[in-house]
Structure 1
Amino acid sequence: MAKKPWYQNPEMIVAFSALVIGIVTTFTSIYSAAIDRAYARASVWPSVEIARGYGYDSFRYIVSNNGTGPAVIKYAKVTHDKKYLSQWRDINVFEEVTQSHIGKTVLSAQKTITPVLYKGNKVDDILKVDNLISIELCYCSIYDECWIVNRDNNPRPIEQCVIDDKHKFLQ
């Protein structure tokens, strides 16, 4: 009886089939894990926006998280006429304001904070100064994916939130 080549033996065909199934299963598992990680990140993705609101007797800045997960705000940077501020009261027209801390906080999903609120008759003066104010926030997701957002509300991803202490807004 003639000897069959090794690849025609039934045991080798079964072994080769098992190998192919194992490889397909491995790639399917890797792909599934990647999809699961992407879904987990998307399910807790923060989206911070900065806005302002005003009426004839009030003015406020609003910071909201319209994403699906918490935003860990690492720092705030506020400038007025290209000068770094440490608090809102560094601007004369903001002497009589109600302030909330924004420099380092956790903003839950679908929540809003008002870092500064003014009520009074100087709204027109504040609106003139408002054009010279720049606000920048650096925030991260719980997976340490970080973004910087300013008043244009176009977040851009960055590796990590780093700021010089002398530029940090302390309020």
Structure 2
Amino acid sequence: MKKVKWYRNPEMIVALSALFIGLLTAVISVYSASVDREYARASVWPKLELFRSYSGEEFSYGVANKGTGPAIIQYAKVSVGSKPIKRWSEVSEFSNITQSHINSITVPSGQTVTPLHYRGELISDILEFDEKINIELCYCSIYQECWIVNRSNETQQVKQCMVSSEEAFVQ
């Protein structure tokens, strides 16, 4: 009787085929899980946009979440020129304002927050002064992916949101 090489043995061919199919299934499962995680992150991706609005005797700053998930604002930085401020009340030009808290809040998808609403005269002066105001927000998704957005709506991804107590806007 002639001896058959081990790899030509029918049982070995079946075993190697089962091993190959098992490895292929494992690779496909890992890839599928990776795609599922990316889809889950994309389905709750926040995208904050800063804007100003004015008409007649009213002026306001707004923050809109144009993304698909909630934006958890970790900190806000507001400065006049290069000088950081803690509250809108530190700005003498904004004497007749209504304000909302903007630091450490969650903005749901599709929602808008108005952190400052000014009503009064001399809107042209306010619009000139507005050019000196710098606003920066750092926000995260529910998966702790974080971004910084500024007044020009340029978004930059960061590892985490950190701000010094001297620069943090606390209003």
Please, what TM-score do these two structures have when normalized by structure 1? 0.98
User: 5 Å matches for 1:16-95?
Assistant: 16-95=16-95
Separation (CA, whole Å) in 1 of partners of 2:169 and 2:123: 23
Separation (CA, whole Å) in 2 of partners of 1:29 and 1:81: 53
Question: What is the letter of the counterpart of residue 79 of structure 1?
Answer: S
Q: Which residue of 1 aligns with 2:154?
A: 154
Contact in 2 for aligned 1:74/1:138 (Cα 8 Å):
yes
Q: Secondary structure at the match of 2:67?
A: coil
The 4+ residue runs of structure 1 with deviation greater than 3 A are: none
Separation (CA, whole Å) in 2 of partners of 1:33 and 1:129: 51
Question: What is the letter of the counterpart of residue 149 of structure 1?
Answer: V
Separation (CA, whole Å) in 2 of partners of 1:160 and 1:6: 57
Q: Which residue of 1 aligns with 2:130?
A: 130
Q: Secondary structure at the match of 2:72?
A: strand
The Cα offsets for residues 115-154 of structure 1, whole Å up to 9 and x where unpaired, read as 0001111311211110001000000000000000001112
Number of positions where the alignment pairs a residue of Structure 1 with one of Structure 2: 171
Separation (CA, whole Å) in 1 of partners of 2:127 and 2:148: 25
Separation (CA, whole Å) in 2 of partners of 1:128 and 1:90: 17
Please, what TM-score do these two structures have when normalized by structure 2? 0.98
Q: Which residue of 2 aligns with 1:117?
A: 117
The CA RMSD measured in Å over matched residues stands at: 0.6
Separation (CA, whole Å) in 1 of partners of 2:141 and 2:111: 15
The Cα offsets for residues 91-129 of structure 1, whole Å up to 9 and x where unpaired, read as 111122000000110000000000000111131121111
Question: What is the letter of the counterpart of residue 152 of structure 1?
Answer: S
Structure 2, unaligned runs of 5 or more:
none
Q: Percent identity?
A: 51
Question: What is the letter of the counterpart of residue 73 of structure 1?
Answer: I
Separation (CA, whole Å) in 2 of partners of 1:50 and 1:82: 19
Measure how far apart 1:56 and its partner are.
1.7
Contact in 2 for aligned 1:93/1:122 (Cα 8 Å):
no
**Is 1:99 aligned with 2:99?**
yes
Question: What is the letter of the counterpart of residue 144 of structure 1?
Answer: Q
Report which stretch shifted further, 82-91 or 141-150. 82-91
Q: Which residue of 1 aligns with 2:144?
A: 144
Question: What is the letter of the counterpart of residue 61 of structure 1?
Answer: Y
Q: Secondary structure at the match of 1:135?
A: strand
Report which stretch shifted further, 61-70 or 120-129. 120-129
Q: Which residue of 1 aligns with 2:12?
A: 12
